[in-house]
Structure 1
C-alpha cells in the first residue's frame, strides 16, 4: 500500500516579535520543523541584507528547521500618486514607482535563495479607486515568473481582500492564465471567509492551483471588527474546508498566522493542536 504524504505545519517566527529566536524555539517545542519568514529584526525580510538573512538561516539550521516560504510583500503596492488605505505590509512601502519594482522582485529571489525557501508569496496590486492597476496585465509579471523559474522557486499569489485578486472567480481567471508559467496559489482560508466564499465548492475549484495554505481565525465583534483567535475557535468554517482540501491535496504546507497579539505563543500552540487533529481525520 502506498502511504499518503503528510501535510506540513509551518510557523512564522515574527508572530512572537521581531527577534526570530523565540518563534523558532516555539516551533521546535511544538514539533514544527518548517518556518515562514516575513520580517525579522524590525525589517521586512526582502529589505534585509545578505548577512542578516544568513544569520536567520543559521539560526534555523541550528534548530534543524527549514524555511518553507518567504512571505514577501511583492505587488502589495500601488502607484506613488495613489492613496492606499490602511494596509499591513510589515515595514514595506505601499507606494512604489513601477521602475523600482523589478529590483524588489530580484531582492526577494535573492532572499529566498539565501534562506532556502522554495516558495515566495506575492499579491495583486492594492485597490485604490481609479488608479488601481491590473495584475493580469502587469508587464512585469511574465518577467518575474521567468526569473523565478530560473531561480528554482515558485511565486504564489495570496487572495488578499485589499488587493485586486481576492474572490474565487478572479483567482481562477489569473491562475488559469499563468499557472503553466509557474504562478500558484497561496490560499488564505480566513481571507476567503472574509469575502464570503469559504465553502467546500470554492475550495475544490481552487485546490488544483494551491501550493500553500494560510490558517488564521477570527470572530466578528459587535462593532463589525474582526477579533483574531486561535485556529478552530472562530468563525472560519475549517471543519468544512479542511476535509475537502486535504482530500484533494493531501500534502500541503499549512502555515499558522494567528495575529493574536496578547498571547501569540498560546494561540499558536492551540492552533497547531487543532490543525493536527483536523488533518489527522482527513489523511488515511
Structure 2
C-alpha cells in the first residue's frame, strides 16, 4: 500500500506545480484531476499531455487514478463538482457527462494511468422513480464501459452520499448486470462512514470489487465534509489493518479538496498521520 494525494486540493495551481508540491510532501502517487485547471480532456493538447508526462518523470510520481468525477469546467450553478450527472433529465445535458467520461478514459490510456473514477449516478430526485434513474445510468454508462474495455483502462464507480448509489449493497446490485472486468469500485472510506457503513466493516466484503481507495476523515456527525485524517471520527488504524489483510497493494489516495486555501499544510499533515498507520498495518499483515 502506498499513499497518493489528489490534485483537486490544488485548484489554485497549474498541474506541474501541483505535482511538484504533492511529491515534496512525500507522496509516491498523485490522483490527476481531469478538470480545470489541471487536465480537462476536452481542451488538452498533445503538448500539454507531454508536459504532464514530463512532470511525472521529474517528480517520480505515479498516477494513482484519474479523477473524472469533478466537472468544475462546466460551471453548473447547481453544483460545480458533479453536475452534469449521469441522470440529468435532459439527455443532451447528460451527454456532457458521458462524453467527458470517454475523453477521460482516453486520457488515462494516453498517460498510462490504470483507471478513472466517476460519479454513481446523479441526485436522487432527478427521476420520478429510482428504477428509472438506474436504467438511465446504465444506458449512459455502457458506451463508456465498452471504451474502457477497448482501451484496457478501469472505470471505477464511487458511491457518494445523496447520489443515486450511496451504499455498497446498491453498488453490488447495479454492477451485477454489468459483465466487464474493467468496471470496479472506488472505495471512499469517508463516503461509507457518512451513510452509516463504517469502512472497517466493509473492506473485506468489498475487496473483490475494490480497485482503489480514497481516504479522508469525517466528523462524528457523519456530515459529508472531507477532513484531514485524524480530525474526525473514522478509525483509520482498524480500516488500514482490514485493507492490508486483503493483500491490497495499490494506492490509497488522500482527497482533501476543501483545503484549497492551504493544500500544502493539509497534504503534509495527512501524510504524517497516515504513514505510521500504513506501516503498522503492513507489518501486522506480514507478522
Identify the TM-score tier after normalising by the shorter chain.
0.7 to 0.9
Q: Give 5+ residue unaligned stretches, structure 1.
A: 1-6, 77-82
Is residue 158 of structure 2 the alignment partner of residue 162 of structure 1? no
Q: How far, CA to CA, are the matches of 1:180 and 1:75 in structure 2? A: 25
Q: How far, CA to CA, are the matches of 1:269 and 1:240 in structure 2? A: 22
Q: How does 1:198-217 map to 2 (within 5 A)?
A: 198-217=198-217
Change (3 A) 1:130 1:175: closer
Aligned alpha-carbon RMSD (Å):
3.0
1:137 Cα deviation after fit: 6.0
1:104 Cα deviation after fit: 2.6
Residue pair 1:203, 1:245 contacting (<8 A) in 2 also:
yes
1:207-231 per-residue CA deviation (whole Å, 9 max, x = no partner) reads: 221111001113368xx96664321
Change (3 A) 1:70 1:228: closer
Q: Report SS of the residue matched to 2:196.
A: coil
Q: Which has the higher contact order (CA 8 A, sep 6+)?
A: 2
Paired residue for 1:15, among 2, 9, 14? 9
Is residue 115 of structure 2 the alignment partner of residue 119 of structure 1? yes
- Per mean C-alpha deviation after superposition, the further-off stretch among 181-190 and 38-47 is 38-47
Q: How far, CA to CA, are the matches of 2:231 and 2:195 in structure 1? A: 19
Residue pair 1:34, 1:68 contacting (<8 A) in 2 also:
yes
State the partner residue of 1:49.
Answer: 44
1:58 Cα deviation after fit: 2.1
Q: Give 5+ residue unaligned stretches, structure 2.
A: none
Q: How far, CA to CA, are the matches of 1:254 and 1:185 in structure 2? A: 13
Is residue 274 of structure 2 the alignment partner of residue 275 of structure 1? yes
Residue pair 2:65, 2:114 contacting (<8 A) in 1 also:
yes
Q: How far, CA to CA, are the matches of 2:179 and 2:276 in structure 1? A: 32
Change (3 A) 1:136 1:251: farther
Q: Report SS of the residue matched to 1:134.
A: helix
- Per mean C-alpha deviation after superposition, the further-off stretch among 260-269 and 44-53 is 44-53
Change (3 A) 1:73 1:227: closer
Q: Report SS of the residue matched to 1:208.
A: coil
Q: How far, CA to CA, are the matches of 1:246 and 1:8 in structure 2? A: 11
Residue pair 1:57, 1:114 contacting (<8 A) in 2 also:
no
Q: Report SS of the residue matched to 1:104.
A: helix
Change (3 A) 1:118 1:228: closer
- The TM-score normalised by the length of structure 1 is 0.81
Q: How does 1:126-145 map to 2 (within 5 A)?
A: 126-129=122-125, 131=127, 133-134=133-134, 138-145=138-145
1:274 Cα deviation after fit: 1.9
- How many residue pairs were aligned? 268
Q: How far, CA to CA, are the matches of 2:172 and 2:242 in structure 1? A: 18
- Per mean C-alpha deviation after superposition, the further-off stretch among 133-142 and 190-199 is 133-142
State the partner residue of 1:232.
Answer: 230
Q: How far, CA to CA, are the matches of 1:97 and 1:86 in structure 2? A: 14
1:206 Cα deviation after fit: 1.2
Change (3 A) 1:174 1:233: same
- The TM-score normalised by the length of structure 2 is 0.81
